[in-house]
Amino acid sequence: MIERFYPCEMRDSAYEVEYEEFYEKGYRGILFDIDNTLVGHGAEADERAIALVKRLKETGYRICFVSNNKEPRVKSFCDALDAPYVYKAGKPKGDGYSKGLELLSLPKEQVLAIGDQIFTDTWGANRAGITSILVGQLEKKEEIQIILKRRLEYFVKKSYQRKQGRKKHE
């Protein structure tokens, strides 16, 4: 039961994902979360985010942002990156992911979903049949409802890590 919350992979940061390796495996699109995935909560696109998205586009990836935030916040971030977006995505429901796939014009088997929260980003991607990569949050300071979810996420992460450890020893 808890396995439905497991990411396909975990990384410390969205900036440490081996994107070129995934590209070699046939992935062609990425659905990114924004807040605490690429920048701090509410922050505009910074040099690091801009450089990453530029590099990914040059590699051949199509990029789309899928966020539960309201349009003004998402639009200003994505305008700086010249990227399409889905706002008020309703994650973990699948509608936001479906819209993101439409904007990418790619099948779900060729798309990665990258975010920092298990119960929205990872679970939503898993429910939509998209390869999920859970990344570490950039900032520890968060809204109270997210802090409470993080406490539950701790147990899911520990269970996932134990399972991964068993796989390595088999």
* C-beta of residue 33 within 8 angstroms of C-beta of residue 118: no
Dist. CA 6–CA 61, nearest whole Å? 25
Structure confidence by residue, pLDDT tens digits, 15-59: 999 999 999 999 999 999 999 999 998 899 999 999 999 999 999
Calculate the alpha carbon distances from 139 to 43, 116, 121, 136 in Å.
11, 10, 17, 9
Could you report the per-residue pLDDT of 69-93, keeping only the tens digit for each?
999 999 999 999 999 999 999 999 9
Nearest alpha carbon to residue 106 among 53, 48, 60, 59:
60
Mean pLDDT (the chain, rounded):
90
pLDDT mean over 122-136: 96
CATH 3.40.50.1000 fits 2-169, yes or no: yes
Residue 48 is predicted with a pLDDT of 96
Whether the CB-CB separation of 28 and 59 falls below 8 Å is answered with no
- pLDDT reading at 1 higher than 90: no
